Amino acid sequence: MILRVKKLSHAYLLLACFATSPVLAQASASVTAGPLRGNAQASPSNQPLNERVARGPRTDDTRNCDSRGVTVNSANGSASASVTTSPGGSSAVAGGGSPGSRTQYFGCDADHHRSEK
């Protein structure tokens, strides 16, 4: 009888561990407005690197100062965000992240804004 109760308690404990185990799913958001495109991703840091880097076309052709972009990658790579603009008109982009993240600007801001905080 005592043995049966012990087995039952182990089963409850195992069930409790399963019930409280984290659901570490990837989350992403993409938004578009006129010439702007934005993308943000968050995922557990045990994901493969190529699945948690910021996506988006690089706009590092500095001859065209109307086109800009910014990419933010957190230190452990689990959060990223990027914004790009198409040429034409006036545009501005900005990015930031948690301490240790890398923020890279592309386009005509590239020479002035390359930060790692």
Give residues in contact with other proteins (CB under 8 A): 1-2, 5-6, 8-9, 12-13, 16-17, 20-46, 54, 68, 70-86, 88-99, 101, 117
Report the alpha-carbon angle 64-65-71, nearest 5.
Answer: 100
Rounded to whole angstroms, the Cα distance separating 12 from 96 reads: 44
| CB 63, min distance to other proteins, A | 19
By beta-carbon proximity to other proteins, the closer residue of 62 and 117 is 117
Which CB atom, from 1 or from 63, has the smaller least distance to other proteins? 1
Rank residues 31 and 111 by Cβ distance to other proteins and give the closer one: 31
Residue pair 61/107 in contact (Cβ under 8 Å)? The answer is: yes
Cα–Cα distance for residue pair 46/49, rounded to 1 Å: 8
